[in-house]
Structure 1
Amino acid sequence: MGRDAATVILVLGLALGTAVLYGLARQGEEPSALAQAGHAAGLQGRAEGATTPSGQPPAVQLYVVKPGDTLYGIASRFGTTVAVLQRLNDLDDPDRIGAGQVLRVPAGAGEAAGVVPTLGAVARPSPGRYGPVSDWERHLLASLIWHEARGEPFEGQIAVGAVVLNRVDDPRFPDSILGVVTQPGQFPFSLEQLQRTRPDAWAYAAADRALAGEDPTGGALYFYNPAKTTTPEFWATRPVVARIGQHVFTR
Protein backbone atom coordinates (compact mmCIF):
# COMPACT_ATOMS: atom_id res chain seq x y z
CA MET A 1 0.00 0.00 0.00
CA GLY A 2 1.33 3.43 -0.94
CA ARG A 3 1.85 6.23 1.60
CA ASP A 4 -0.95 8.38 0.08
CA ALA A 5 -3.45 5.52 0.29
CA ALA A 6 -2.53 4.81 3.90
CA THR A 7 -3.00 8.47 4.76
CA VAL A 8 -6.46 8.53 3.19
CA ILE A 9 -7.49 5.42 5.12
CA LEU A 10 -6.22 6.90 8.39
CA VAL A 11 -8.11 10.16 7.86
CA LEU A 12 -11.31 8.31 6.94
CA GLY A 13 -10.93 6.08 9.99
CA LEU A 14 -10.57 9.04 12.34
CA ALA A 15 -13.54 10.78 10.76
CA LEU A 16 -15.69 7.66 11.05
CA GLY A 17 -14.75 7.20 14.70
CA THR A 18 -15.70 10.79 15.47
CA ALA A 19 -19.01 10.42 13.65
CA VAL A 20 -19.87 7.21 15.53
CA LEU A 21 -19.01 8.84 18.86
CA TYR A 22 -21.11 11.90 18.04
CA GLY A 23 -24.09 9.75 17.07
CA LEU A 24 -23.89 7.75 20.27
CA ALA A 25 -23.65 10.89 22.37
CA ARG A 26 -26.76 12.34 20.69
CA GLN A 27 -28.71 9.16 21.49
CA GLY A 28 -27.61 9.28 25.15
CA GLU A 29 -25.74 5.97 24.82
CA GLU A 30 -22.38 5.07 26.30
CA PRO A 31 -19.71 4.91 23.58
CA SER A 32 -17.43 1.94 23.35
CA ALA A 33 -13.99 1.97 24.97
CA LEU A 34 -12.47 2.37 21.50
CA ALA A 35 -14.69 5.37 20.71
CA GLN A 36 -13.89 6.94 24.09
CA ALA A 37 -10.18 6.49 23.40
CA GLY A 38 -10.55 8.36 20.12
CA HIS A 39 -12.57 11.07 21.82
CA ALA A 40 -9.93 11.37 24.57
CA ALA A 41 -7.23 11.91 21.97
CA GLY A 42 -9.27 14.70 20.42
CA LEU A 43 -9.77 16.43 23.77
CA GLN A 44 -6.18 15.98 24.98
CA GLY A 45 -5.32 19.63 24.39
CA ARG A 46 -8.39 20.84 26.30
CA ALA A 47 -8.05 19.07 29.63
CA GLU A 48 -5.15 16.67 30.04
CA GLY A 49 -5.49 16.52 33.81
CA ALA A 50 -1.78 16.14 34.57
CA THR A 51 -0.33 19.64 34.50
CA THR A 52 -1.03 23.08 33.15
CA PRO A 53 1.41 24.85 30.78
CA SER A 54 3.13 26.29 33.86
CA GLY A 55 3.78 22.79 35.17
CA GLN A 56 1.20 23.12 37.98
CA PRO A 57 -1.74 20.74 38.47
CA PRO A 58 -4.93 22.05 36.86
CA ALA A 59 -7.43 23.98 38.96
CA VAL A 60 -10.47 21.86 39.73
CA GLN A 61 -13.89 22.26 41.29
CA LEU A 62 -16.07 19.77 43.11
CA TYR A 63 -19.13 18.12 41.60
CA VAL A 64 -21.74 16.15 43.55
CA VAL A 65 -22.85 13.13 41.54
CA LYS A 66 -26.60 13.07 40.80
CA PRO A 67 -28.84 10.00 40.38
CA GLY A 68 -28.39 8.65 36.86
CA ASP A 69 -25.01 10.32 36.29
CA THR A 70 -22.28 8.39 34.50
CA LEU A 71 -18.62 9.27 34.41
CA TYR A 72 -18.81 9.69 30.64
CA GLY A 73 -21.79 12.04 30.96
CA ILE A 74 -19.99 14.12 33.60
CA ALA A 75 -16.86 14.24 31.43
CA SER A 76 -18.88 15.50 28.46
CA ARG A 77 -20.63 18.10 30.62
CA PHE A 78 -17.33 19.51 31.84
CA GLY A 79 -15.47 19.35 28.54
CA THR A 80 -13.01 16.67 29.62
CA THR A 81 -12.50 12.90 29.35
CA VAL A 82 -13.21 9.84 31.45
CA ALA A 83 -9.47 9.22 31.71
CA VAL A 84 -8.88 12.68 33.16
CA LEU A 85 -11.66 12.25 35.73
CA GLN A 86 -10.22 8.88 36.70
CA ARG A 87 -6.80 10.47 37.31
CA LEU A 88 -8.24 13.40 39.25
CA ASN A 89 -10.27 11.12 41.51
CA ASP A 90 -8.11 7.96 41.71
CA LEU A 91 -10.92 5.90 40.17
CA ASP A 92 -9.99 2.39 39.04
CA ASP A 93 -13.45 1.53 37.71
CA PRO A 94 -15.25 4.30 35.77
CA ASP A 95 -18.59 2.52 36.29
CA ARG A 96 -18.41 2.69 40.08
CA ILE A 97 -19.73 6.10 41.02
CA GLY A 98 -22.84 6.79 43.05
CA ALA A 99 -25.29 9.58 43.77
CA GLY A 100 -23.94 11.93 46.43
CA GLN A 101 -20.29 11.12 45.69
CA VAL A 102 -18.04 14.19 45.38
CA LEU A 103 -15.78 14.27 42.33
CA ARG A 104 -13.02 16.63 41.23
CA VAL A 105 -13.76 18.10 37.79
CA PRO A 106 -11.92 20.76 35.74
CA ALA A 107 -12.65 24.30 36.94
CA GLY A 108 -14.34 26.96 34.84
CA ALA A 109 -16.52 24.66 32.76
CA GLY A 110 -19.87 22.94 32.86
CA GLU A 111 -23.14 23.71 34.54
CA ALA A 112 -23.30 25.31 37.97
CA ALA A 113 -25.82 22.84 39.43
CA GLY A 114 -24.10 20.40 41.75
CA VAL A 115 -20.82 22.30 41.84
CA VAL A 116 -19.41 23.11 45.29
CA PRO A 117 -16.35 25.10 46.53
CA THR A 118 -13.55 25.53 44.01
CA LEU A 119 -10.23 23.78 44.47
CA GLY A 120 -6.96 24.99 43.05
CA ALA A 121 -3.60 26.50 43.81
CA VAL A 122 -3.96 29.53 46.05
CA ALA A 123 -1.62 31.76 48.01
CA ARG A 124 -2.35 32.44 51.67
CA PRO A 125 -2.58 36.15 52.45
CA SER A 126 0.09 36.77 55.07
CA PRO A 127 1.72 39.74 56.78
CA GLY A 128 5.12 38.63 55.57
CA ARG A 129 6.98 35.38 55.88
CA TYR A 130 4.39 32.94 54.55
CA GLY A 131 3.91 33.00 50.78
CA PRO A 132 2.42 30.69 48.14
CA VAL A 133 1.60 27.15 49.23
CA SER A 134 3.06 24.17 47.38
CA ASP A 135 0.86 21.25 46.36
CA TRP A 136 2.75 19.11 48.86
CA GLU A 137 2.00 21.48 51.76
CA ARG A 138 -1.62 21.70 50.65
CA HIS A 139 -1.81 17.92 50.73
CA LEU A 140 -0.33 17.80 54.24
CA LEU A 141 -2.87 20.35 55.47
CA ALA A 142 -5.79 18.50 53.86
CA SER A 143 -4.50 15.23 55.30
CA LEU A 144 -4.42 16.65 58.82
CA ILE A 145 -7.93 18.06 58.37
CA TRP A 146 -9.15 14.67 57.16
CA HIS A 147 -7.66 12.85 60.14
CA GLU A 148 -8.79 15.38 62.75
CA ALA A 149 -12.13 16.60 61.43
CA ARG A 150 -13.73 14.23 58.96
CA GLY A 151 -17.39 13.92 59.86
CA GLU A 152 -17.37 17.42 61.36
CA PRO A 153 -19.32 20.32 59.78
CA PHE A 154 -17.51 21.88 56.82
CA GLU A 155 -16.99 25.03 58.91
CA GLY A 156 -15.29 22.87 61.53
CA GLN A 157 -12.97 21.40 58.94
CA ILE A 158 -11.99 24.88 57.78
CA ALA A 159 -11.44 25.80 61.42
CA VAL A 160 -8.94 22.96 61.93
CA GLY A 161 -7.01 24.15 58.88
CA ALA A 162 -7.09 27.69 60.23
CA VAL A 163 -5.57 26.53 63.53
CA VAL A 164 -2.60 25.11 61.65
CA LEU A 165 -2.10 28.34 59.72
CA ASN A 166 -2.54 30.46 62.85
CA ARG A 167 0.30 28.49 64.38
CA VAL A 168 2.45 29.10 61.30
CA ASP A 169 1.92 32.83 61.85
CA ASP A 170 2.62 32.62 65.60
CA PRO A 171 6.32 32.86 66.68
CA ARG A 172 5.74 30.24 69.38
CA PHE A 173 5.24 27.54 66.73
CA PRO A 174 7.14 26.35 63.64
CA ASP A 175 6.90 28.70 60.67
CA SER A 176 5.73 26.20 58.05
CA ILE A 177 2.81 23.83 57.53
CA LEU A 178 5.24 20.92 57.59
CA GLY A 179 6.74 22.08 60.87
CA VAL A 180 3.35 22.60 62.53
CA VAL A 181 1.69 19.33 61.51
CA THR A 182 4.74 17.25 62.49
CA GLN A 183 5.70 19.15 65.66
CA PRO A 184 6.35 16.58 68.40
CA GLY A 185 3.62 16.27 71.01
CA GLN A 186 1.00 18.19 69.00
CA PHE A 187 -0.65 15.90 66.45
CA PRO A 188 -0.42 12.07 66.58
CA PHE A 189 0.53 11.61 62.92
CA SER A 190 3.92 11.05 61.34
CA LEU A 191 4.99 12.73 58.12
CA GLU A 192 4.85 9.34 56.42
CA GLN A 193 1.23 8.86 57.54
CA LEU A 194 0.20 12.29 56.26
CA GLN A 195 1.94 11.76 52.93
CA ARG A 196 0.19 8.42 52.43
CA THR A 197 -3.24 9.79 53.38
CA ARG A 198 -5.83 10.27 50.65
CA PRO A 199 -8.01 13.14 51.92
CA ASP A 200 -11.52 13.41 50.54
CA ALA A 201 -12.63 16.35 48.41
CA TRP A 202 -14.13 18.18 51.39
CA ALA A 203 -10.81 18.11 53.25
CA TYR A 204 -9.09 19.67 50.24
CA ALA A 205 -11.86 22.26 49.92
CA ALA A 206 -11.53 23.11 53.63
CA ALA A 207 -7.76 23.43 53.26
CA ASP A 208 -8.22 25.80 50.33
CA ARG A 209 -10.70 27.94 52.24
CA ALA A 210 -8.31 28.18 55.20
CA LEU A 211 -5.42 28.96 52.87
CA ALA A 212 -7.50 31.72 51.29
CA GLY A 213 -7.77 33.39 54.71
CA GLU A 214 -10.98 32.01 56.26
CA ASP A 215 -10.84 31.46 60.01
CA PRO A 216 -14.16 30.59 61.70
CA THR A 217 -12.36 30.52 65.07
CA GLY A 218 -11.10 34.09 65.08
CA GLY A 219 -7.50 33.15 65.81
CA ALA A 220 -7.53 29.84 67.73
CA LEU A 221 -4.25 28.00 68.28
CA TYR A 222 -5.66 24.78 69.76
CA PHE A 223 -8.71 22.55 69.48
CA TYR A 224 -9.99 19.47 71.30
CA ASN A 225 -13.02 17.21 71.64
CA PRO A 226 -14.34 17.36 75.24
CA ALA A 227 -15.76 13.83 74.91
CA LYS A 228 -12.36 12.37 74.00
CA THR A 229 -9.74 14.43 75.80
CA THR A 230 -7.62 12.78 78.47
CA THR A 231 -6.39 16.11 79.85
CA PRO A 232 -9.48 18.14 80.80
CA GLU A 233 -7.48 19.99 83.47
CA PHE A 234 -5.17 21.46 80.84
CA TRP A 235 -8.02 22.58 78.59
CA ALA A 236 -9.75 24.24 81.55
CA THR A 237 -6.87 26.75 81.60
CA ARG A 238 -7.28 27.77 77.93
CA PRO A 239 -9.66 30.58 76.91
CA VAL A 240 -12.40 29.26 74.60
CA VAL A 241 -12.89 31.26 71.40
CA ALA A 242 -15.29 29.02 69.42
CA ARG A 243 -17.30 25.81 69.52
CA ILE A 244 -17.93 24.14 66.15
CA GLY A 245 -19.34 20.63 65.89
CA GLN A 246 -17.64 18.37 68.42
CA HIS A 247 -14.57 20.61 68.74
CA VAL A 248 -13.78 23.40 71.16
CA PHE A 249 -11.25 25.95 69.86
CA THR A 250 -8.99 27.81 72.27
CA ARG A 251 -6.03 30.17 72.42
Structure 2
Amino acid sequence: MLSIMSVFTRKIVKSIINANEVRASILREKGLAESVRVAVEEHKFYLVKRITAFLQEAELNDDEFLLIIKDANKIIFNLTKDFVNLVEALLSLNWKNRSFEIIEAYTEFWVDIVVAQNIYLPISISKLIIHWIPGHLDASEWVNGSPSECTRSELKFTHDLLNRILTAVPMAFDEVMNAIIKLYPYFKKPAHVTAGYLFNMLCLIEYKPIFEEQILKLALQKLLVLDVNAPNGKTLDICLFMLF
Protein backbone atom coordinates (compact mmCIF):
# COMPACT_ATOMS: atom_id res chain seq x y z
CA MET A 1 0.00 0.00 0.00
CA LEU A 2 2.77 2.43 0.95
CA SER A 3 4.63 1.77 -2.29
CA ILE A 4 1.47 2.37 -4.33
CA MET A 5 0.80 5.63 -2.49
CA SER A 6 4.42 6.63 -2.93
CA VAL A 7 4.30 6.04 -6.68
CA PHE A 8 0.97 7.89 -6.92
CA THR A 9 2.36 10.86 -4.98
CA ARG A 10 5.48 11.02 -7.15
CA LYS A 11 3.34 11.03 -10.28
CA ILE A 12 1.24 13.91 -8.97
CA VAL A 13 4.33 15.93 -8.02
CA LYS A 14 5.92 15.18 -11.39
CA SER A 15 2.79 16.29 -13.26
CA ILE A 16 2.69 19.55 -11.29
CA ILE A 17 6.37 20.20 -12.00
CA ASN A 18 5.86 19.44 -15.69
CA ALA A 19 2.87 21.79 -15.85
CA ASN A 20 4.87 24.59 -14.24
CA GLU A 21 7.75 23.96 -16.62
CA VAL A 22 5.41 24.26 -19.59
CA ARG A 23 4.03 27.55 -18.28
CA ALA A 24 7.51 28.85 -17.53
CA SER A 25 8.62 27.97 -21.06
CA ILE A 26 5.68 29.95 -22.45
CA LEU A 27 6.76 32.88 -20.31
CA ARG A 28 10.31 32.68 -21.67
CA GLU A 29 9.44 31.98 -25.31
CA LYS A 30 6.31 34.08 -25.84
CA GLY A 31 6.33 36.56 -23.00
CA LEU A 32 3.42 38.41 -21.45
CA ALA A 33 3.29 41.14 -24.09
CA GLU A 34 3.16 38.65 -26.97
CA SER A 35 0.51 36.57 -25.21
CA VAL A 36 -1.70 39.63 -24.77
CA ARG A 37 -1.10 40.66 -28.40
CA VAL A 38 -2.33 37.26 -29.57
CA ALA A 39 -5.43 37.67 -27.40
CA VAL A 40 -6.16 41.19 -28.63
CA GLU A 41 -5.44 40.71 -32.34
CA GLU A 42 -6.33 37.06 -32.87
CA HIS A 43 -8.88 36.67 -30.05
CA LYS A 44 -7.02 33.63 -28.75
CA PHE A 45 -6.65 33.65 -24.98
CA TYR A 46 -4.98 30.30 -24.36
CA LEU A 47 -1.52 31.84 -23.82
CA VAL A 48 -2.91 34.46 -21.44
CA LYS A 49 -4.73 31.77 -19.46
CA ARG A 50 -1.56 29.72 -19.14
CA ILE A 51 0.54 32.66 -18.00
CA THR A 52 -2.19 33.70 -15.56
CA ALA A 53 -2.21 30.22 -14.04
CA PHE A 54 1.58 30.28 -13.84
CA LEU A 55 1.54 33.64 -12.01
CA GLN A 56 -1.07 32.34 -9.56
CA GLU A 57 0.83 29.18 -8.69
CA ALA A 58 4.56 29.69 -9.21
CA GLU A 59 7.16 31.36 -7.01
CA LEU A 60 8.82 33.75 -9.43
CA ASN A 61 12.53 34.38 -9.17
CA ASP A 62 13.74 37.97 -9.51
CA ASP A 63 14.57 37.68 -13.22
CA GLU A 64 11.14 36.25 -14.04
CA PHE A 65 9.43 38.88 -11.91
CA LEU A 66 11.24 41.76 -13.59
CA LEU A 67 10.59 40.33 -17.06
CA ILE A 68 6.87 40.02 -16.34
CA ILE A 69 6.52 43.55 -14.97
CA LYS A 70 8.53 45.17 -17.76
CA ASP A 71 6.32 43.36 -20.26
CA ALA A 72 3.19 44.43 -18.37
CA ASN A 73 4.27 48.07 -18.44
CA LYS A 74 4.47 47.92 -22.24
CA ILE A 75 0.86 46.83 -22.64
CA ILE A 76 -0.97 48.84 -19.98
CA PHE A 77 -3.54 50.17 -22.44
CA ASN A 78 -4.31 46.69 -23.75
CA LEU A 79 -5.18 45.33 -20.30
CA THR A 80 -8.90 46.00 -20.54
CA LYS A 81 -11.63 44.22 -18.58
CA ASP A 82 -11.07 41.15 -20.76
CA PHE A 83 -7.84 40.58 -18.83
CA VAL A 84 -9.19 40.95 -15.31
CA ASN A 85 -7.85 37.57 -14.15
CA LEU A 86 -4.40 38.37 -15.48
CA VAL A 87 -4.32 41.80 -13.84
CA GLU A 88 -5.52 40.37 -10.54
CA ALA A 89 -2.72 37.79 -10.71
CA LEU A 90 -0.19 40.56 -11.39
CA LEU A 91 -1.47 42.63 -8.46
CA SER A 92 -1.22 39.57 -6.19
CA LEU A 93 2.48 38.91 -6.75
CA ASN A 94 4.81 38.77 -3.76
CA TRP A 95 6.77 41.99 -4.22
CA LYS A 96 7.72 43.60 -0.89
CA ASN A 97 10.85 41.54 -0.22
CA ARG A 98 12.34 42.07 -3.67
CA SER A 99 15.20 44.27 -4.82
CA PHE A 100 14.76 48.04 -5.10
CA GLU A 101 14.78 47.76 -8.91
CA ILE A 102 11.88 45.31 -8.84
CA ILE A 103 9.88 47.27 -6.28
CA GLU A 104 10.33 50.44 -8.31
CA ALA A 105 9.23 48.75 -11.55
CA TYR A 106 6.30 47.06 -9.83
CA THR A 107 5.00 50.23 -8.18
CA GLU A 108 5.24 52.06 -11.51
CA PHE A 109 3.10 49.35 -13.08
CA TRP A 110 0.61 49.55 -10.19
CA VAL A 111 0.18 53.31 -10.56
CA ASP A 112 0.02 53.16 -14.35
CA ILE A 113 -2.63 50.43 -14.44
CA VAL A 114 -5.06 52.32 -12.17
CA VAL A 115 -4.50 55.57 -14.08
CA ALA A 116 -4.96 53.97 -17.50
CA GLN A 117 -7.62 51.42 -16.55
CA ASN A 118 -9.66 52.69 -13.60
CA ILE A 119 -11.82 49.56 -13.65
CA TYR A 120 -8.99 47.99 -11.67
CA LEU A 121 -9.03 50.68 -8.98
CA PRO A 122 -11.17 48.76 -6.43
CA ILE A 123 -9.16 45.56 -6.64
CA SER A 124 -5.82 47.39 -6.58
CA ILE A 125 -6.79 49.30 -3.44
CA SER A 126 -7.98 46.14 -1.71
CA LYS A 127 -4.75 44.36 -2.64
CA LEU A 128 -2.81 47.15 -0.92
CA ILE A 129 -4.97 47.53 2.18
CA ILE A 130 -4.86 43.80 2.85
CA HIS A 131 -1.13 44.23 3.55
CA TRP A 132 -2.16 46.27 6.60
CA ILE A 133 -3.45 43.16 8.33
CA PRO A 134 -0.76 41.40 10.39
CA GLY A 135 -0.65 37.63 10.18
CA HIS A 136 -1.89 35.57 13.12
CA LEU A 137 1.67 34.39 13.81
CA ASP A 138 3.21 37.87 13.62
CA ALA A 139 2.56 38.90 17.22
CA SER A 140 6.30 39.22 17.91
CA GLU A 141 6.51 41.81 15.11
CA TRP A 142 3.90 43.98 16.83
CA VAL A 143 4.40 45.18 20.40
CA ASN A 144 1.59 47.34 21.78
CA GLY A 145 0.49 48.31 18.29
CA SER A 146 3.96 49.29 17.12
CA PRO A 147 5.68 47.32 14.33
CA SER A 148 9.26 46.09 14.31
CA GLU A 149 11.71 47.99 12.12
CA CYS A 150 11.57 45.25 9.49
CA THR A 151 7.77 45.30 9.36
CA ARG A 152 7.74 49.10 9.36
CA SER A 153 10.06 49.12 6.32
CA GLU A 154 7.81 46.71 4.44
CA LEU A 155 4.72 48.76 5.25
CA LYS A 156 6.43 51.92 4.02
CA PHE A 157 6.42 50.57 0.47
CA THR A 158 2.68 49.93 0.74
CA HIS A 159 1.92 53.40 2.10
CA ASP A 160 4.19 55.13 -0.42
CA LEU A 161 2.36 53.36 -3.23
CA LEU A 162 -1.06 54.16 -1.79
CA ASN A 163 -0.04 57.81 -1.44
CA ARG A 164 0.98 57.92 -5.10
CA ILE A 165 -2.31 56.39 -6.20
CA LEU A 166 -4.35 58.83 -4.12
CA THR A 167 -2.39 61.72 -5.61
CA ALA A 168 -2.74 60.48 -9.19
CA VAL A 169 -6.35 59.27 -9.00
CA PRO A 170 -8.64 61.49 -6.85
CA MET A 171 -11.55 59.04 -7.21
CA ALA A 172 -9.45 56.53 -5.26
CA PHE A 173 -10.37 58.22 -1.96
CA ASP A 174 -13.80 56.59 -1.78
CA GLU A 175 -12.37 53.22 -2.76
CA VAL A 176 -9.79 53.45 0.03
CA MET A 177 -12.43 54.07 2.69
CA ASN A 178 -14.60 51.28 1.29
CA ALA A 179 -11.68 48.86 1.45
CA ILE A 180 -10.67 49.94 4.96
CA ILE A 181 -14.20 49.37 6.25
CA LYS A 182 -14.58 46.06 4.42
CA LEU A 183 -11.23 44.65 5.58
CA TYR A 184 -11.35 45.88 9.20
CA PRO A 185 -10.50 42.86 11.39
CA TYR A 186 -13.31 41.07 13.21
CA PHE A 187 -13.37 41.97 16.91
CA LYS A 188 -12.38 38.44 17.94
CA LYS A 189 -9.07 38.64 16.10
CA PRO A 190 -5.84 38.63 18.17
CA ALA A 191 -4.85 41.95 19.72
CA HIS A 192 -1.83 42.50 17.46
CA VAL A 193 -3.99 42.08 14.34
CA THR A 194 -6.49 44.79 15.26
CA ALA A 195 -3.81 47.08 16.70
CA GLY A 196 -1.66 46.64 13.60
CA TYR A 197 -4.55 47.55 11.35
CA LEU A 198 -5.28 50.63 13.45
CA PHE A 199 -1.60 51.61 13.23
CA ASN A 200 -1.87 51.63 9.44
CA MET A 201 -5.09 53.61 9.52
CA LEU A 202 -3.34 56.27 11.58
CA CYS A 203 -0.38 56.22 9.17
CA LEU A 204 -2.78 57.06 6.35
CA ILE A 205 -3.88 60.19 8.20
CA GLU A 206 -0.27 61.39 8.39
CA TYR A 207 0.15 61.70 4.62
CA LYS A 208 -3.50 62.25 3.70
CA PRO A 209 -5.10 64.28 6.55
CA ILE A 210 -8.35 64.48 4.60
CA PHE A 211 -9.13 60.99 5.92
CA GLU A 212 -8.81 62.00 9.58
CA GLU A 213 -12.48 62.49 10.42
CA GLN A 214 -13.64 59.30 8.70
CA ILE A 215 -10.78 57.19 10.06
CA LEU A 216 -11.22 58.32 13.66
CA LYS A 217 -14.98 57.88 13.45
CA LEU A 218 -14.54 54.34 12.15
CA ALA A 219 -11.94 53.53 14.81
CA LEU A 220 -14.23 54.72 17.60
CA GLN A 221 -17.17 52.74 16.20
CA LYS A 222 -15.07 49.59 16.16
CA LEU A 223 -13.79 50.24 19.68
CA LEU A 224 -17.37 50.55 20.92
CA VAL A 225 -18.09 47.12 19.44
CA LEU A 226 -14.98 45.85 21.16
CA ASP A 227 -16.00 47.45 24.46
CA VAL A 228 -19.39 45.75 24.36
CA ASN A 229 -18.08 42.32 23.40
CA ALA A 230 -14.71 42.23 25.18
CA PRO A 231 -14.61 45.09 27.71
CA ASN A 232 -11.64 43.74 29.63
CA GLY A 233 -9.63 42.60 26.63
CA LYS A 234 -6.05 43.50 25.78
CA THR A 235 -7.04 44.70 22.32
CA LEU A 236 -9.21 47.51 23.66
CA ASP A 237 -6.48 48.76 26.00
CA ILE A 238 -3.85 48.85 23.26
CA CYS A 239 -6.11 50.59 20.76
CA LEU A 240 -7.24 53.21 23.27
CA PHE A 241 -3.61 53.90 24.12
CA MET A 242 -2.80 54.35 20.42
CA LEU A 243 -5.66 56.79 19.90
CA PHE A 244 -5.42 58.83 23.07
- TM-score, length-scaled by structure 1: 0.29
In terms of Rg, which structure is larger?
Answer: 1
Q: Which has the higher strand share?
A: 1
